[in-house]
A = this chain, B = another copy of it.
Amino acid sequence: MLKPEILDPQGQAVSGALPRLGFEQFREVRQGKRFVLTVDGEVTEEHLAAAAEAAEKLLSNPVIEDVVSVRAQQDVDSVRAEDPDQ
């Protein structure tokens, strides 16, 4: 997600549109990215550590973005290291 002090025009646009469309209950909207990284087999601690490192160094821009969550997610057909990032 964008750091709190960074302006988020996309989120602001959504935030402005929601009340016009009947959603009055949300005070603020911020938009970010998520990445799903798929691995073969079980998600190990090493996979999660590598995903966290990739998220910090490559998938996000650390000047303006924070990595907010890196977690494993079991999938129906495969096991994924998930990276709801930035």
A-to-B contact residues, CB < 8 Å = 1, 11, 14, 17-18, 21, 23, 25-40, 46-47, 50-51, 53-54, 57-59, 81, 84
Contacts and interface: CB of A to CB of B under 8 A. Distances in A.
A35 B26 CA distance: 12
Given A21-B58, A23-B54, A50-B23, A38 B29 contact: yes
Given A58-B17, A58-B18, A59-B14, A50 B37 contact: no
Nearest to A54: B23
B39 A35 contact: no
19 contacts: A1-B36, A14-B59, A17-B58, A23-B50, A23-B54, A23-B58, A25-B47, A25-B50, A27-B39, A27-B40, A28-B36, A29-B35, A31-B33, A31-B34, A32-B33, A32-B34, A33-B34, A34-B34, A34-B84
